[in-house]
Amino acid sequence: MKKFYDYIIVGSGASGGALSYYLSRTGAKVLMLEAGKRYSSESFSSNEMHANANLMWGGGTEMNTNADQIFLRGKVVGGGTVINQCLLDRFDDVAYEDWRTQSNIKFHKLDMMNRHYDEVESHLSLYNMQKEDWNGNAELYAKGFDNLGFEWSPLRRGQANCNNDNDCIVCLGGCARKSKQSTLETFIPMAESNGMTLVSEFEVAEVIHGESFVTVQGNCKGQPTTYYGAKCILASGAIGTTKLLLKSQLQNKLPALGENFHCHPQWMSIAFFDDIIDSHKGYFQTLKSSDPRFRDWGFKLENVFAGPIAIALLKQGYGHDHQQFMQRYRNMACIEVAVRDQAAGKITLNNSGKVIIKKPLSDGDQQRANHGNRIVKDMFNSLGAYETMTSPMRIGLHLMGGCTIGENELTSVVNENFQVHGMKNLFIADSSTFPNAPGINPMLTILAMAHRASESILAESGQRTTQPNIATKEVVA
């Protein structure tokens, strides 16, 4: 005998977290399965090396086939929202128009999405960065923009009680202050108080769609385990959800599965100054480029920094040169260029079930990167930097696509109700549904889309779960 749930959600990140709240508040029986471990503000490690190894898939070493692009994705209760910066922006008309052109989905319009943004924001503590929050790196960023005549503006972050001496350097390995608005601190506890069940360290290996329920098979701490759900919603992120559907042998039924993968490739440029900058102190990120020219050019710039291990990885080589580089950690300033990538990648599996990601850089994307990096160099030169280095390593933090939403079954994987084509009980609500790269931080839109998806899923269920405390049913395994 196995437990049967109204809804099984696979993944507990931005999308899974929000969904778990919106589905469980109807009184439905909701089960959330998460491959990563559950940590709390007290148990996160403050050691950067342990944080990377414990909280990310592959310890933060997943790469594309050319090994020139790294992908970071969370494997922990709260997913990417635990290890991210929680910079929260709404998409603009440009992003939605480009989505609608590709997807033909009517609600890909800012004025139709605003009520979903309003809803999810009502559960978040949001903070606009102030001048008193700037560290030395932010001061240089603003001055550099002013020198070159570009507009900048403050970033907005999801945080409750950071203060001026907040330590982003630790927070990226999990917030010890219960301040960062990860789903671990926001939607998941709300869902749990509605009765949602969360099973961590459960990696789902396969989903089997049926006409009346979905079978979800996986492995919990070495134990093969099966659950059944009237509906199953995949929220495992762009790579995780695509991998799961590929492992479930659905590629023949879904010709677009694995296509359209995007990642906003980022380059970090380090500049060295004679003065101490201490970019590692206080807020890492406070300012963004708001100049409309950057939107036209297809990239964005933010001030950024990272812990010593991540900074060390930006420079090639080893030995004395590398040591000299790191000895100047306190003299470094840093700006990132994130490109709105137009060339789509592709996710497949090899014969042993390992994810293979083809993500080449097209000439156009390379030109956008070169343009952005040249502006950063000009900025640092105008500020008196004595040396500037752009890391050759591309970093992918915003992983999107692979199971895109759209009208056409040949070019997309889910329909406008977030339902997998031809499978009425299987849904996808995460960043894998993004049709192309928006060029804007995605987390807030993932939360908002999850809210919209919850409405579609509840409507598909005939709202039968609006009564609280429906009894758990039992079915024969």
Ligand X SMILES: Cc1cc2nc3c(=O)[nH]c(=O)nc-3n(C[C@H](O)[C@H](O)[C@H](O)COP(=O)(O)OP(=O)(O)OC[C@H]3O[C@@H](n4cnc5c(N)ncnc54)[C@H](O)[C@@H]3O)c2cc1C
Tokens (6 digits) for 33: 């399965």
Contact, 286 vs 154, CB < 8 A?
Answer: yes
Q: In whole angstroms, what is the distance from residue 425 CA to residue 430 CA? A: 16
Residue of minimal Cβ distance to ligand X: 13
* Closer residue to ligand X in complex, CB, 31/86: 86
- Output the smallest distance, CB 122 to ligand X, in A: 18
For residue 193, what is the enclosing H or E element?
A: helix 187-193
Binding positions for ligand X, 374-403, rule CB under 6 A: 397-398
Encoded amino acid at 405, one letter: I
Q: Is residue 447 within the footprint of ligand X (CB under 6 A)?
A: no
Q: Is residue 158 within the footprint of ligand X (CB under 6 A)?
A: no
**Helix, strand counts (H, E) of the chain:** 14, 21
Contact, 453 vs 19, CB < 8 A?
Answer: yes
Q: In whole angstroms, what is the distance from residue 179 CA to residue 194 CA? A: 22
Q: Note the helical H segments in 46-181.
A: 48-55, 80-83, 93-103, 110-121, 136-148, 168-171
Question: Which range touches ligand X (CB under 6 A), out of 114-122, 265-273, 313-321, 437-445?
Answer: 437-445
3-state helix, strand, coil in the chain (%, to 5): 30, 25, 45
Alpha carbons within 13 angstroms on the beta-carbon side of residue 336 total: 24
Question: Which range touches ligand X (CB under 6 A), out of 23-31, 69-77, 117-125, 342-350?
Answer: 69-77
- Output the smallest distance, CB 470 to ligand X, in A: 24
Binding mask 27-56 for ligand X (x = CB under 6 A): ------xxxx--------------------
- Output the smallest distance, CB 313 to ligand X, in A: 13
Q: Is residue 72 within the footprint of ligand X (CB under 6 A)?
A: yes
Contact, 221 vs 33, CB < 8 A?
Answer: no
Tokens (6 digits) for 151: 């507009």
Question: Which range touches ligand X (CB under 6 A), out of 137-145, 225-233, 236-244, 384-392?
Answer: 236-244
The β-bridge partners of 156 are 128
Contact, 430 vs 446, CB < 8 A?
Answer: yes
Q: Contacting ligand X (CB under 6 A), which of 52, 79, 96, 216?
A: 79
Q: Is residue 85 within the footprint of ligand X (CB under 6 A)?
A: yes
Question: Which range touches ligand X (CB under 6 A), out of 9-17, 141-149, 353-361, 467-475?
Answer: 9-17
* Closer residue to ligand X in complex, CB, 201/278: 201
* Closer residue to ligand X in complex, CB, 91/145: 91
Binding positions for ligand X, 87-116, rule CB under 6 A: 87
* Contact footprint for ligand X (CB under 6 A): 10-16, 33-36, 72-76, 79-81, 83-87, 203-204, 235-237, 240, 244, 397-398, 430-431, 441-443, 446
